[in-house]
Amino acid sequence: MTEFNYTVTETDKELSVKELLRRNFHFSSRLLTKLKQQDLVTLNGNPVRGWMIPLPGDKLTITLPQETCDFQPEDIPISVIFEDKDLLVINKQPGYVVHPTKGKPNHTIANGIMKKMLDDGEKYKIRFANRLDMNTSGLLLIAKNSFTQDRLIRQMKAGIIRKEYLAVVDGIMEHDLGTINAPIGRPDPDEVERWILPTDQGGYDSVTHYKVIRRFQSGYTLVRLRLETGRTHQIRVHMASIGHPVTGDHLYNNGDPFLYRKLHGDFRRVEGIEEKSTSPYIDRQALHACSLSFFHPVTNEKTELEAPLPDDIVKLIDYISFL
């Protein structure tokens, strides 16, 4: 359980407990309400009210509320990259949806984390700070309390969190470095696919930076990508839009999926399978979230994490190296 302590100073004279909490911890209004309702703030070990004015030398103690989840626990492997009482970062394997949905109520990463939580004797609400597509692997950030989640969201909005990916894309890219600045939207609200869409038609500003790592004479490129924004399918859409779709990407391998379906019919369902790789060398899109950099929400320490390429992408690179 996360606890914060603060010793009142001379410069805090005449400030109430509520003002001290806002000034020193930047708690959200929602969290402040929970702290008040559950009597989770004490002054020198005794219950305190927000209007009370402490004296210099007094000690405020704040205990974050205990929360839990009701996901069904499932024996799904969870590869931990970093963990403490506030934060969990895992290396997500492909083939799993992150969070239960109406169409996918179980067999998700959340179900696996629920089992891990119970096995570890912990109790917290699973709060995903970022999301990865079902068939994208890599670093997934989970907050264990609302304070941690709020701080991470603020860092994301401020552009402080640095997210990088490795991908194998079709074709040999010409330029070593580049930036794709093209708004992404959802042309059809009934379809999952996104595409380049002007902002005046509902698109959102989207920026992806890329750096070529290796070119393969067999017709592929290994590229490292950094997201400046975090739109759904952003890398997949941006790379496809410049003629270099992520290898194996079943949705965007033909460029604009809406135009392709208009001209050629629905390509998505093959023998009843909705997601089928377009590559003979890998069973999914070759996209991996390899790096995360952020400031720890509680300790404020710079945290830099890496997740190595998974076996299937390593094998793909081996295949295309000798074609």
Tens digits of per-residue pLDDT, 206-249? 999 999 999 999 999 999 999 999 999 999 999 999 999 999 99
pLDDT digits (tens, 9 = 90+) for 271-321: 444 567 899 999 999 999 999 999 999 899 999 999 999 999 999 999 999
Answer yes or no: are the C-beta atoms of 109 and 98 closer than 8 Å. yes
Residue range 56-68: mean pLDDT, rounded: 87
CA–CA gap between residue 137 and residue 316 (Å, rounded): 14
Looking at the fold, whether 59 and 106 belong to one and the same domain comes out as no
Question: 170-206: per-residue pLDDT in tens?
Answer: 999 999 999 999 999 999 998 999 999 999 999 999 9
Q: Which of 12, 86, 133, 249 is catalytic?
A: 133
Same domain, residue pair 190 and 300: yes
User: Is position 75 within any domain?
Assistant: no
Half-sphere exposure of 273 (CA within 13 A, CB side): 9
CA distance 304 to 105: 32
| Whether residue 104 sits in one domain with residue 204 | yes
Whether residue 51 sits in one domain with residue 90: no
Is the domain of 160 the same as that of 198? yes
The CATH number assigned to the domain holding 11 equals 3.10.290.10
Q: Would you say residue 70 lies in a domain?
A: no
Q: Quick check: is 58 in a domain?
A: yes
55 and 98 within one domain: no
**Mean pLDDT of all residues belonging to the chain:** 92
DSSP state letter for 174: S
Task: Look at the chain and report how many structural domains it folds into.
Answer: 2
134/269 same-domain check: yes
| Closest listed residue to residue 90, CA positions, set 106, 121, 114, 67 | 114
Q: Using alpha carbons only, what angle is made at residue 92 by residues 150 and 219, rounded to the nearest 5 degrees? A: 120
Task: Give percent above pLDDT 90 in the chain.
Answer: 67
Is residue 312 among the annotated active site residues? no
Return phi, psi of residue 175, to 5°: -95, 145
Note down the domain range covering 88: 80-321
Q: DSSP states of 22-78 as a string?
A: HHHH---HHHHHHHHHTT-EEETTEE--TT----TT-EEEEEPPP----PPP-----
- Which tokens hold the place of 144? 């264990």
Whether 14 and 145 share a structural domain? no
- CATH code of 115's domain: 3.30.2350.10
| 255 in a structural domain | yes
Bigger pLDDT: 110 vs 277:
110
This prediction has a pTM of 0.87
